[in-house]
Structure 1
Amino acid sequence: MPNITNHRSPKARAALCALVLLTGLFAMKALAGLKKPPEALDIPETPLAVEVTEARSREVQTVISGYGEVTALNTVALSPEVSGRVVALHPNLEEGEVIEKGELLFGLDTEALTIDQTTAERRLVTLKRNRDLLKKEYERTRRLFDTMKTGSLSDVETAEQAYNTARDSVDQLAHSLAETELNLKKSTVRAPFRARVKSVSIEMDQYLTAGTQVLTLADDALLEVAVPIKGDEAAMFLEFAKGAAPTTWFGPLVPKECLVSWNDSAATATGTLDRVVRYDAASRTVYVAVQMNGQSQEGFPITEGMFCRVAIPGKSLDHLIPLPSHAVTSSGAVRIDNNGRLKTVSVETAYTHDGFTYVSAGLDEGTRVITSRLASPLENALLSITVPKELASGGTR
């Protein structure tokens, strides 16, 4: 049987392969054309619901807030000026009691001083008598020597010396008697003002040594708070009196009524801005004194030792826009309504107090500022505006 062999050239083989590939491509395309494409979905953009407030500038009365401890401006530590045994005590001489001015605090035994005083008074009478007699003798001796040349100059000098000695003895005893009388007065100690007893370490029959501190009294009629203020805030907001003489220290402050409050206004009082106390270079802080003079407080009082919040009125600033502090970011920007879209703009702030930040530049009048609390919103996001009641009624925030 004959051997039949099919011989194809390389070109024929390539053409056959290409034909197979083209057939497959056309088949795939035909099959793909039979499948319908999915319909396009129209997904609406979800608006971001926010509240806004209109930017309106106005004059702002600044208030500087600080904290400080209340102290009694007049505190006296008492010590006896003479030594002695305690023989009298005020019945209310206890810590926290109030003693009226002039009332006896304590008295020391004066028996020895009284004896010294009586003895000195009697002796002084005798010495004065002797002095007067010696004075007459000296004058008589001097007159006889000068007019009648009787006696000698030595007799005159002896009489003068005796008189001078007697006079000196009288002066010394008079001085000693005055000291005794003064010590008698010092043996009785009275309240120098209407005083609150801060501390007491004295008992009846106790022997006190001169100079030993036994009492501490405070005058609550004049209390003071030293309030620290940041240096930049002090320079911007503190108001100093005009026309004061030039000095290298701070000039007098304009007296302003301040509010002093303790424990979230559980106790309040009014005070007056008085002076600059000191400047702390390490912390760049200015300390100012606020005095509470003669307060008549009802209810729970502001007292020494309380750590209080003090609100001090500062200068008035013009053309500031108040915004809730949460509406201003830490980087100094606010988010506004820009034709229904969110836009972030940078602003300059001048002052922050009690939850409000006051913008000095970067916002135009009437700009609607977003006041809602937002967490990293998308720029140019669609907004759904909720107008607060005060804006809907025509008011401003």
Structure 2
Amino acid sequence: MPAPAPLPLSFSSRRARRQRGRIAVGTLLALLLLTVAAVLAWWLLTQPPRIERRPRAEVSPPLVDVIDAQHQAAAPELHGFGRVVAEREARLASRVAGELVEFTAEALPGRMVEAGTPLARLDDADLRLNLREAEAALVQAEAALAMERGEQQRAETEYRSFGRELTAERRALVLREPQLRNAEAEVERARAARDRARLALERATLSAPWRGMVQARLLGAGSAVANGTEILHLVDASRFWVRVSLPGEALAWLEAADAGRPGSPVTLATRTWPDGQTRSGEVIAILPALEEEGLQAQLLVAIEDPLGLENNLPALRLGDVVRLTFVARPREGLFALPAAALRPGEEVWLLDDEERLRRRAVEVVHRGETRVLVGAGLEEGERVVTSQLGQPREGMRLRPRIADRERPAGESGESRS
């Protein structure tokens, strides 16, 4: 088979030039596109973001509770805790030595006894013998006195028959006046011994010195007791005391009982009583010493008939811890505010006529748990803010809450679905 004939030289060179031309055009287009892309990217990066500005929504001022400041006669709420103690108690002790024979039926702990009631008896056999001896000695001394008086009469008769006057000193000896005085003294000594023996016999029986309640028997029957040995514990149940501690500034609001003037009233309550039941008392004394631990003032509150024996009220027991509410003496011209209305630094927040917050420093007369008493710094009718605010600022707008009495007729304070 014959070989193909070669192409002419001019045709091959024209084809090569066309290919080189297409490559150059493509490269130029690519560079142009890259340049355009780079310029566009630079323009986008250098342009600030466009934020569509919308009108700012109006924020409603915070809703707050307010009260109107009003002058009034006010007193603080004073509370305290105290322990019940006996106003009068006694530990009956034996005043003679002997054996404790028995307690009487009235000496039962918890039983009320009247004054003079026998409570315990000691063995009095020896005391009765002593009384008999003393009585016999008295009879003997009285007999000796009678004999001496007879001797004096005989001596006086002889002296008158003698017919001579003697000096006063010799005359007293002749008439046996010293012997008579000695016999009279022996009678008095015997009579005192008799009375002492009789008194010792009476003391062998222990009796209640006043009306009270037997708290405890301190010994058992059959015990040997000496002079001064305690046998019974007796408590006066007609009135108890409560010893209570209060801050020193509270004393300015209270009064202690004085001659013809009652003390500040007090209401007492304890957990051992049914709900709602209380007792009444009065402040009778302000003690001179402060409490050791808290350095607070100490007061005594008296409660009549604490065991409820006559008034059928709940019983108040010795050692019980009670909560006391004092009725303080009111003062005129004070502002009584809720405790939440007082801000740090002893200031309050006020709502002015333009509904803006204003700060005001005040004089705090008393700071309590639920309310405070302000003496100066407020004016009658000013609106005091009692609500809490997250970020309070002087002059910020506030919106007072509308009280139920100020709502339009037919508008309810609660939302309805």
The interval holding the TM-score normalised by the smaller chain is: 0.7 to 0.9
TM-score, normalised to structure 2's length? 0.73
Q: 2:358 aligns with which of 343, 346, 358?
A: 343
Q: 1:193 aligns with which of 186, 196, 210?
A: 210
SS in 2 for 1:67: strand
Name the CA shift for 1:100/1:162 in 2 (closer, same or farther; >3 Å): closer
- 1:230 corresponds to: 247
> Within the alignment, does 1:272 sit opposite 2:286 as a pair?
no
Q: Which ranges of structure 2 fall in alignment gaps of 5 or more residues?
A: 1-37, 409-417
Q: Is the Cα contact below 8 Å between 2:262 and 2:282 reproduced in 1? A: no
Give the drift of 1:89.
0.7
SS in 2 for 1:351: strand
SS in 2 for 1:172: helix
TM-score, normalised to structure 1's length? 0.77
CA distance in 1, matches of 2:255, 2:314: 32
SS in 2 for 1:211: coil
- 1:113 corresponds to: 127
- 2:22 corresponds to: none
Give the drift of 1:118.
2.3
CA distance in 2, matches of 1:155, 1:346: 99
Q: Is the Cα contact below 8 Å between 1:110 and 1:184 reproduced in 2? A: yes
CA distance in 2, matches of 1:116, 1:349: 76
CA distance in 2, matches of 1:351, 1:47: 33
Name the CA shift for 1:209/1:33 in 2 (closer, same or farther; >3 Å): closer
> Within the alignment, does 1:207 sit opposite 2:224 as a pair?
yes
SS in 1 for 2:115: coil
Q: Is the Cα contact below 8 Å between 1:278 and 1:288 reproduced in 2? A: no
Name the CA shift for 1:31/1:216 in 2 (closer, same or farther; >3 Å): closer
- 1:257 corresponds to: 265
Name the CA shift for 1:374/1:92 in 2 (closer, same or farther; >3 Å): farther
SS in 2 for 1:280: coil
Q: Is the Cα contact below 8 Å between 2:257 and 2:284 reproduced in 1? A: no
SS in 2 for 1:278: coil
Deviates more, 1:73-82 or 1:163-172: 163-172
- 1:386 corresponds to: 401
Name the CA shift for 1:392/1:77 in 2 (closer, same or farther; >3 Å): farther
CA distance in 2, matches of 1:157, 1:391: 117
Give the drift of 1:112.
1.5
CA distance in 1, matches of 2:374, 2:273: 29
CA distance in 2, matches of 1:37, 1:156: 144
Name the CA shift for 1:91/1:389 in 2 (closer, same or farther; >3 Å): farther
CA distance in 1, matches of 2:245, 2:289: 9
CA distance in 2, matches of 1:155, 1:252: 63
Give the drift of 1:306.
2.1
* Residue identity (%): 21
Give the drift of 1:181.
0.5
Deviates more, 1:304-313 or 1:281-290: 281-290
Give the drift of 1:190.
1.2
Deviates more, 1:321-330 or 1:34-43: 34-43
Amino acid of the structure 2 residue aligned with 1:257: P
Q: 1:365 aligns with which of 380, 389, 398?
A: 380
Q: 1:184 aligns with which of 183, 187, 201?
A: 201
Number of residue pairs matched? 359
Structure having the higher Rg: 2
SS in 2 for 1:315: coil
Which structure carries more strand by proportion?
1
- 2:17 corresponds to: none
Give the drift of 1:149.
5.3
- 2:327 corresponds to: 313
Q: Is the Cα contact below 8 Å between 1:68 and 1:308 reproduced in 2? A: yes
Give the drift of 1:40.
2.9
Q: Which ranges of structure 1 fall in alignment gaps of 5 or more residues?
A: 1-23, 243-250
Give the drift of 1:111.
1.4
